[in-house]
Amino acid sequence: MQQQQPKSTSLVLLITFWLYVAIPLLWGVASTIKKAMALFG
């Protein structure tokens, strides 16, 4: 039972941690794409 517990905990942690880095990165990418649109406008 003690070996099962860390696995479920780490899944929540895993998603949270990935979102923590992905959200600002996606914001930066979206801002850059918006700026890049001027090239094709």
CA 6 to chain CA centroid, Å, is 22
12 binds other proteins (CB under 8 A): no
CB of 38 to other proteins, least distance (A): 4
Our finding on whether 8 is near other proteins (CB under 8 A) is no
Structure tokens at 11: 């899944």
Integer Cα distance of 14 and 38 in angstroms: 37
Q: Which two tokens stand for residue 17?
A: 């941690």
Q: Which residues bind other proteins (CB under 8 A)?
A: 3, 6-7, 10-11, 13-14, 17-18, 20-21, 24-25, 27-29, 31-33, 35-41
